[in-house]
């Protein structure tokens, strides 16, 4: 079993890592009507080789069984809001020194934490994100995500950091940044990574594993429309600044509006 617990002092013997101490890992999930996907994520977490960890669900007022599912899995449940607020609220009650923010419509592959934490500490990173793989996986969806997101964020990690869907960050750095900027309407996660770099935080994209993410947002809103929105958002961040107006009409989990209205 991987003891994430105080992972502070680490020494290396060849390719093997000696965990001298253990720190607690706090896994924070913002939710809104996620009864369909949340069980898959929680099951994938339970399968990991973790000892000292907690799961915090920051719920934004779900009308379905999301909160009941979180309680069933022994999660700490706190009040959420839009994703930035939910993540910040989750961090406020987190007991761990290492925070992992993850979207609810995801699945973590086997040995995800073993691989990612070993790389995180081997590279001496303070904040990290991950490449994404869509599920259900189709050749076209994987090609688009891999070409226009994964390869881009790896190529730009040292000059223009990106972090989305899953973010691993040391709590002391997160607090130094005052968490997520809740005034940002879209891409507040990328903003967090870029502010971390300005604070001399060492960031990077984990290479040893990836996150499986539902393709629902691209499938429902359209790949071209969604891609164009995020491209325009990227340009806005570079040339104007963080997106603090609602020009992109962002909605938090609108996929089940008809079901839960």
Nearest to 227 by CA among 236, 219, 218: 218
> What's the mean pLDDT when you consider all of the chain?
89
For strands 25-31 and 98-102, give the pairing: parallel
Query: Would you put residue 14 in left (φ > 0), alpha (ψ -120 to 50) or beta?
Result: left
Mean pLDDT of 144-157: 95
Residue 102 has pLDDT above 70, yes or no: yes
Provide the pLDDT confidence category of residue 6 given band limits of 50, 70 and 90: very low
- Specify the pTM: 0.89
What burial letters (b/e) apply to 50-62, b meaning 16+ CB within 10 Å? bebbbbbbbbbeb
Cβ proximity of 102 and 211 under 8 Å: yes
Cβ proximity of 173 and 97 under 8 Å: no
**Per-residue pLDDT reduced to its tens digit, 11-22:** 333 444 444 346
**Per-residue pLDDT reduced to its tens digit, 222-252:** 888 888 888 999 999 999 999 998 887 777 7
The domain at 10-260 falls in which architecture?
Answer: Alpha-Beta Complex (3.90)
For strands 53-59 and 76-79, give the pairing: parallel
- Domains of the chain, residue spans: 10-260
Cα 233 to chain centroid, rounded: 19
What burial letters (b/e) apply to 192-214, b meaning 16+ CB within 10 Å? bbbbbbeeebebbbbeebbbbbb
């Amino acid at each position: 079993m991987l003891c994430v617990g105080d992972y502070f002092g680490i020494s290396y013997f060849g390719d093997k890592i000696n965990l001298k101490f253990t720190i607690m890992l706090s896994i924070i999930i913002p939710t809104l009507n996620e009864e369909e996907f949340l069980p898959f994520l929680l099951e994938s977490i339970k399968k990991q080789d973790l000892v000292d960890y907690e799961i915090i669900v920051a719920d934004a007022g779900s009308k379905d069984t999301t909160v009941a599912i979180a309680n069933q899995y022994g999660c700490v449940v706190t009040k959420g809001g839009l994703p930035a607020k939910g993540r910040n609220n989750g961090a406020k009650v987190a007991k761990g020194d290492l925070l992992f923010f993850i979207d609810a419509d995801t699945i973590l592959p086997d040995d995800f934490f073993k691989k990612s934490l070993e790389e995180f500490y081997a590279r001496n990173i303070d904040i990290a994100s991950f490449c994404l793989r869509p599920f259900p996986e189709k050749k076209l969806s994987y090609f688009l995500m891999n070409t226009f997101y994964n390869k881009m964020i790896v190529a730009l990690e040292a000059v223009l950091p990106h972090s989305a869907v899953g973010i691993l960050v040391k709590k002391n750095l997160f607090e130094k940044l005052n968490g997520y900027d809740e005034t940002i309407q879209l891409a507040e996660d990328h903003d967090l990574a870029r502010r971390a770099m300005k604070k001399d935080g060492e960031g990077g994209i984990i290479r040893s594993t990836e996150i499986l993410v539902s393709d629902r947002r691209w499938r429902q809103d359209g790949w071209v429309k969604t891609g164009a929105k995020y491209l325009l958002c990227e340009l806005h961040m570079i040339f104007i600044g963080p997106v603090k107006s609602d020009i992109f009409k962002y909605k938090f989990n609108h996929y089940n509006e008809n079901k839960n209205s």
